[in-house]
Amino acid sequence: MTLSLVGKVALVTGASRGVGRGIARGLGEAGATVYVGGRTVVEGTAASRLPGTVQTTAEEVTALGGRGVAAPLDVGDDEQLRALIARIDREHGRLDILVNSAWGGYERFTDGSEFNPGPFWEQPLALWDSMHRIGVRSHYVASALAAPLMIRSGPGLIVCLSSFAGQVRVPPVAYAVAHDAIDRLAKDMAEDLRPHRVASVSLYPGLVLTESVVANLQYFADQPNRETPLFVGRAVAALAADPDLFRLTGRWLVAAEVAAAYGVTDEAGELPDSNRAWITGDPVPPF
């Protein structure tokens, strides 16, 4: 299918780096105007010690054919989210796509702190707060604040980034519970949004070669099925460009399965496999 999101306006949170950056780039590649939300505005200042800024991602979106707008944003601050939605309303009067990609808790892999893979009672209590405040809660708040504008623009798409941890046990406990909650959030929001033709889905990437994963690649040597961040972005763009998208509302979707259904490939032209059968033992359902 030909992907064109020219004239569409998107907001991607957590887009300084990682999957969020890839999604912003994928939407830009399809011609969308993308507000790039993220905390890092000065290179080298991220708590994770990883590279990337909202300005850099916005420039990449523009270079790929869209229009990138750097939008410094701490999703843990409701008023910053409210102000950004109001800015998008002032500047465009519409919001077609919201991607909730912000996530917390991964900093421990790269910030120099000691990593403990033990049971939940050995994990820092702050891990729960990071994953549930910057993950689940920010997805809810961003969606709640954006919904009136998206309903007015309509139809639209809300994507909440999740993972197979919403379906099977993936330690630590805080991680799996957060993803289960994100899936339920996307499903239940879909019912409230159904009369307004705004679709809501959760999306499962595979093993994505983010800056954090690349920095810890030795831990993933037994997982050869990998995706780039841009691949996930192309899957999101394909969903957003589908005029029959609403049939999928309320579902959890696998990025590799979305890509296969729409004929989307990764950067080198390959199509990563879905991890569904390997992780859950279930066959891929009809798309």
Q: Hey, what are 94's tokens? A: 């519409």
User: Which residues share a beta bridge with 70?
Assistant: 36
The rounded distance, in Å, linking the Cα atoms of 142 and 75 is: 8
Name which of 26, 38, 275 is nearest 163 in CA terms: 275
Task: Decide: helix, strand or coil at residue 200.
Answer: strand
- In the set 35, 106, 140, 175, the catalytic residue is 175
Active site annotation includes 140: no
Strand order of the β-sheet with 198-204 is 67-72, 33-38, 9-12, 97-100, 156-161, 198-204, 252-254
59: phi > 0 → left, psi -120 to 50 → alpha, else beta; which? alpha
Q: Which residues are catalytic?
A: 175
